[in-house]
């Protein structure tokens, strides 16, 4: 299956080219392959929500050269009528002999494509680079399985885990290249979420300062109505969702959402408002509340070679009696950024 692994990696790389324009649909790439000649005939990916799926684009690009060939797809071909017809129908009609799939579709409306292809006499091979395909579509998986946004927490601390001095000063803990990495992370998430403590302390813009990149939607957690409306986060250069229990007259670009103390309900409401992925940049209090509420899926933790001693922690109030009961990140990746480190890990894997 090694040849299929290499080809499936190409499918996954193709899928990434959508760069988020596919959301809320999954990232999908496809390749039409000639087994006898051992060559790729064509390829395609799902470019934009509502437009042709990856299989359709790959088949179209094959210019009729599909009979007896193999099609590789990073996600099980859909079997239902949505904004486009079922891809299974087109694969069968195109005369493919074999279909290689990375992962099955968790969406019950779209799943079942593999069985349909098998019943049509097409050989189906499943699970090629499944782990990589699931990582690619971690946001889609969380959305479909739980009807909630995928939530990533970004932190930046000293070696001793401080996000600020006791007097609140925090600029800058990390180096310039690490801060550029944060900008790139922001550009990959649909929304950025912060809370009143951080916003009152720093008055951040929470935008993306990269060329040709769109700033994320801002989700501002301020249930006690502490942040003045003239703060940077309320600028009209991006959609704003204000989580606030007060009845305020707000500019048209600011939507208001009430909070009753239930984070599960809050994130489900945000998903209903079209929010698929969120990057959290906040302080100790809000970080801790989200972790305790089990709402964080992934952490990107920047570490600078500084020691503050007394200072503000990035999280608190998590008390465990046994080491094995504590939160253990999985699928760890470590990146050195000059004299800084970035540790990425998952709390939950979908």
Which positions are catalytic?
A: 55
Residues 333, 346: Cα–Cα separation, whole Å: 10
Residues 327, 70: Cα–Cα separation, whole Å: 43
Q: Nearest-5° angle of CA 149, CA 152, CA 155?
A: 155
Residues 145, 116: Cα–Cα separation, whole Å: 23
How deeply is 111 buried, as exposed, middle or buried, from its count of CB atoms within 10 A (0-12, 13-18, 19+)?
A: middle
Give Cα 230 to chain centroid, integer Å.
30
Helix (H) or strand (E) holding 298: strand 298-303
Task: Give one DSSP letter per residue of 143-159, joined into a string.
Answer: HHHHSS-EEEEEEEE-T
DSSP state, residue 26 = P
328 Cβ neighbours under 8 A, 6+ residues apart: none
Helix (H) or strand (E) holding 334: strand 330-337
Which one, of 306, 291, 303, lies nearest residue 334 by Cα?
Answer: 303
Residues 86, 241: Cα–Cα separation, whole Å: 36
């Amino acid at each position: 299956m090694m040849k299929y692994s290499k080809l499936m990696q190409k499918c996954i790389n193709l899928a990434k080219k959508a760069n988020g324009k596919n959301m809320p649909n999954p990232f999908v790439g496809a390749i039409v392959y000639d087994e006898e000649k051992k060559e790729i005939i064509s390829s395609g990916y799902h470019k934009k929500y509502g437009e042709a799926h990856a299989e359709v684009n790959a088949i179209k690009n094959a210019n009729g050269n599909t009979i007896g060939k193999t099609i590789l797809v990073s996600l099980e071909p859909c079997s239902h009528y949505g904004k486009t017809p079922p891809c299974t129908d087109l694969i069968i009609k195109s005369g493919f002999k074999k279909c290689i799939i990375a992962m099955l579709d968790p969406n019950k409306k779209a799943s079942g494509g593999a069985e349909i292809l098998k019943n049509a006499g097409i050989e189906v091979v499943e699970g090629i680079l499944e782990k990589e395909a699931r990582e690619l579509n971690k946001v889609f998986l969380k959305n479909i399985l739980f009807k909630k946004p995928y939530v990533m927490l970004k932190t930046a601390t000293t070696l001793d885990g401080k996000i600020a001095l006791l007097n609140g000063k925090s600029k800058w803990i990390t180096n310039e290249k690490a801060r550029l990495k944060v900008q790139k992370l922001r550009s990959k998430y649909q929304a950025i979420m912060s809370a009143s403590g951080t916003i009152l302390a720093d008055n951040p813009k929470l935008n993306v300062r990269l060329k040709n990149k769109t700033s994320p939607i801002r989700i501002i957690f301020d249930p006690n109505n502490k942040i003045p409306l003239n703060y940077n986060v309320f600028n009209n250069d991006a959609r704003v969702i204000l989580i606030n229990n007060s009845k305020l007259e707000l500019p048209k670009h600011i939507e208001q959402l009430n909070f009753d103390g239930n984070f599960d309900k809050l994130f489900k409401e945000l998903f209903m408002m079209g929010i698929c992925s969120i990057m959290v940049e906040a302080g100790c209090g809000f970080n801790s509340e989200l972790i305790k509420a089990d709402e964080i899926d992934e952490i990107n933790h920047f570490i600078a070679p500084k020691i503050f001693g007394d200072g503000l922690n990035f999280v608190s109030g998590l008390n465990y009696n046994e080491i094995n009961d504590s939160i253990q990140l999985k699928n760890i990746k470590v990146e050195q950024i000059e004299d800084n480190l970035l540790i990425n890990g998952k709390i939950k894997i979908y």
